[in-house]
């Protein structure tokens, strides 16, 4: 595969942006390669500047559940552009989108639109702290919730310690109110509630962890989180930035039958445009300014173009209810092909999956990081050379879209099976 033009563009970009990119994983560091520079995308495929055409399983890291450049969405966005790009004032389309979201996700009774998943989660945490009057938040090792200071943490020396910043530039004090537990470990959560009675504002969780590779919750884990928060006057926040509108129309809440107090959305809800949402119980959201004392604002929040892309995307998902079965079936075929190699352990939830190069089951961060990342890099290169674009890191999800054709799946399965 010739990537000369991408290489030249990367050389230029490296002098202009840190690592040549605007988000670190795009630099391909984890797979020891240089990134492809993308020129366009349509359906299941992306096209790079060198003219390579690839079947895309990154799907912009999740938004592309319908594939790329779905004509109805593009047309609506083009039309919306003719009316102006931003007003900084309310529009009726915001209420239209809000009604669609609320009808799909009953746990959301009231919501606020923002411009990214990071903002959505940061603001949801603030709302929950404001509502409860408590400071401590529990998050899980290996879960990612965007790059706000207080959530950029890893586990300390033991579970009972407060978190340590995972990034330079985050003052120690900024993560003092973040507690870290182990994903799928009820005991680690229980221990924190035992240690800090009446002090924990809430638990923040990816209902299917997808940022250490895909790690589904074990049976009863989410129900346990619901019960323990309820028992202790703490709030349960589902970070559905990835799972929202992906596992089902009602996201993980519907998929697992759990009603959290708050939900955050991003990615699919903006149909490929910058849009995030946080929402939940009315009395929590009524704490948000200008109604309440929890401040949160945004110049471009509820941007009319992003809202239009969101409305059109959700309309398609609501009208064509067969989509979820179709993408589940395609992902299951890929899961079987991956498992048949005998080289990986595959985790899957609906159309999200990860193949871990390890012999042991992966149920948390500790087991995920046992994966052989050098083997993943080899696999990544093999897939790329076979015309398939997968995540440039072992610890990311493979996203299946409704645009992946039977032929795409067949080609992908053949490539998987031929990997040695």
Ligand X SMILES: Cc1ncc(COP(=O)(O)O)c(C=O)c1O
Comparing CB distances to ligand X, the nearer of 204 and 346 is 204
Tokens of 151: 């959530």
Whichever of 48 and 239 has its CB closer to ligand X, that residue is 239
Residue 82 Cβ, how far from ligand X at the closest point, in Å? 27
Cβ distance 27 to 21 under 8 Å? yes
Q: Which is nearer to ligand X, 269 or 338 (CB)?
A: 269
- DSSP SS3 for 313: helix
Stretch that binds ligand X, among 47-55, 142-150, 298-306, 363-371 (CB under 6 A): 142-150
CB of 22 to ligand X, least distance (A): 11
Order the strands of the 345-349 sheet from edge to edge.
345-349, 352-356, 398-399
**Nearer to ligand X (CB atom), residue 204 or residue 337:** 204
With CB atoms as reference, the residue minimizing the distance to ligand X is: 117
Tell me which of 56, 239, 312, 402 binds ligand X, using CB under 6 A: 239
Rounded distance between C-alpha atoms, residue 405 and residue 410, angstroms: 9
By beta-carbon proximity to ligand X, the closer residue of 61 and 419 is: 61
Give the relative orientation of helices 304-319 and 92-104 as an angle to the nearest 10 degrees: 40
Residues 192-231 as x/- pattern, contact with ligand X by CB under 6 A: --------------x----x--------------------
Catalytic-labelled residue, pool 48, 239, 364, 408:
239
Catalytic annotation, pick one of 48, 56, 93, 144: 144
Q: Active site includes 330?
A: no
Among 131, 144, 221, 324, the residue binding ligand X under the rule CB under 6 A is 144
* Residue 329 bears catalytic tag: no
Known catalytic membership, residue 172 = no
Question: Binding to ligand X (CB under 6 A): which residues in 242-261?
Answer: 242
What would the two tokens of residue 111 be?
């919501």
Q: Does 142 bind ligand X (CB under 6 A)?
A: no
Please report, as residue ranges, which positions from 354 to 413 form the binding site for ligand X (by CB under 6 A): none
User: Closer CB to ligand X, residue 10 or residue 144?
Assistant: 144
Nearer to ligand X, 132 or 393 (CB): 393
Tell me which long-range contacts 35-39 makes (C-beta under 8 A, separation of at least 24).
Answer: 35/6, 35/10, 35/392, 36/3, 36/6, 36/389, 37/5, 37/6, 37/9, 37/10
- Kindly write down the DSSP assignment for every residue of 79-143, as one continuous string: HHHTT-S--SS--HHHHHHHHHHHHH-TT-SEEEEESSHHHHHHHHHHHHHHHHT--EEEEETT-
**Residue 215 has what DSSP assignment?**
B
Nearer to ligand X, 61 or 365 (CB): 61
Cβ atoms of residues 176 and 208 within 8 Å? no
Which one is catalytic: 56, 182, 183, 267? 267
Match 């990615």 to its residue by tokens: 267
Question: Quick one: which of 274, 1, 2, 250 has its CA closest to 119?
Answer: 274
CA distance 253 to 239: 10
User: Minimum distance between the CB of residue 356 and ligand X, rounded to whole angstroms?
Assistant: 18
How far from 291 is each of 63, 123, 284, CA to CA, in Å? 31, 15, 11
- CA-closest candidate to residue 41, choices 27, 28, 58: 58
Using CB under 6 A, which residues numbered 78 to 137 contact ligand X? Answer: 116-118, 121
The answer to the question of residue 150 lying near ligand X (CB under 6 A) is: no
Q: Residue 60 Cβ, how far from ligand X at the closest point, in Å?
A: 10
Out of 68, 126, 134, 145, the only residue in the binding site for ligand X (CB under 6 A) is 145
Stretch that binds ligand X, among 212-220, 239-247, 323-331, 340-348 (CB under 6 A): 239-247
Quote the CA–CA distance of 153 and 140 in Å, as a whole number: 9
Q: Check binding of 273 to ligand X (CB under 6 A).
A: no
Q: Is 266 in the site for ligand X (CB under 6 A)?
A: yes
Count of residues of this chain found to bind ligand X when the rule CB under 6 A is applied? 14
Q: Quick one: 148 exposed, middle or buried, by C-beta within 10 A (0-12, 13-18, 19+)?
A: middle
User: What's the rounded Cα separation, in Å, for the pair 253 and 181?
Assistant: 21
Q: At its nearest, how many Å lie between ligand X and the CB of residue 195?
A: 26
- Under the binding rule (CB under 6 A), the answer on residue 146 touching ligand X is yes
Task: Using the Cα atoms of residue 402, residue 406, residue 411 and residue 414 in order, give the sign of their dihedral.
Answer: positive
Residues found near ligand X in the complex (CB under 6 A): 61, 116-118, 121, 144-146, 206, 211, 239, 241-242, 266
Mind telling me the catalytic residues? 144, 239, 267
């Amino acid at each position: 595969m010739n990537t000369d033009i991408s290489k030249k563009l990367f050389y230029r970009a490296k002098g202009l942006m840190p690592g040549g990119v605007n988000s670190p994983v795009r630099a391909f560091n984890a797979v020891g390669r240089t990134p492809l520079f993308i020129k366009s995308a349509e359906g299941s495929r992306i096209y790079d500047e060198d003219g390579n055409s690839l079947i895309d399983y990154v799907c912009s890291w999740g938004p592309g559940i319908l594939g790329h450049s779905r004509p109805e969405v593009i047309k609506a966005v083009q039309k919306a552009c003719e009316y102006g790009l931003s007003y900084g004032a309310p529009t009726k389309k915001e209420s239209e989108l809000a009604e669609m979201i609320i009808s799909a996700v009953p746990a959301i009774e009231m919501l606020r639109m923002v411009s990214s998943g990071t903002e959505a989660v940061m603001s949801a945490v603030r709302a929950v702290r404001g509502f409860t009057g408590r400071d401590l938040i529990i998050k899980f090792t290996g879960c990612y919730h965007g790059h706000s200071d207080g959530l950029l943490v890893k586990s300390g020396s033991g579970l009972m310690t407060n978190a340590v910043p995972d990034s330079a530039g985050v003052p120690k004090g900024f993560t003092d109110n973040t507690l870290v537990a182990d994903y799928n470990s009820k005991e680690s959560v229980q221990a924190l509630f035992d240690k800090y009675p009446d002090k924990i504002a809430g638990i923040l969780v990816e209902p299917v962890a997808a940022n250490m590779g895909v790690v589904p919750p074990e049976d009863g884990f989410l129900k346990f989180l619901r019960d323990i928060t309820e028992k202790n006057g703490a709030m349960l926040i589902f970070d559905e930035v990835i799972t929202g509108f992906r596992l089902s129309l009602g996201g993980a809440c519907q998929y697992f039958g759990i009603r959290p107090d708050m939900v955050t959305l991003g990615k699919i809800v903006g149909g490929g445009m910058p849009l995030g949402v946080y929402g939940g119980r009315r009395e929590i959201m009524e704490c948000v300014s200008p109604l309440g004392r929890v401040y949160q604002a945004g110049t471009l929040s509820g941007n009319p173009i992003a809202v239009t892309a969101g409305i059109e995307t959700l309309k398609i998902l609501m009208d064509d209810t067969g989509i979820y079965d179709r993408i589940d079936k395609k992902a299951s075929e890929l899961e079987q092909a991956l498992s048949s190699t005998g080289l990986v352990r595959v985790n899957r939830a609906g159309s999200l999956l990860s193949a871990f190069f390890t012999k042991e089951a992966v149920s948390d961060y500790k087991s995920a990081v046992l994966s052989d990342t050098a083997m993943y890099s080899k696999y990544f290169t093999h897939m790329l050379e076979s015309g398939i674009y997968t995540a440039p890191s072992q610890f990311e999800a493979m996203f299946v879209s409704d645009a992946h054709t039977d032929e795409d799946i067949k080609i992908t399965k053949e490539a998987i099976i031929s990997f040695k």
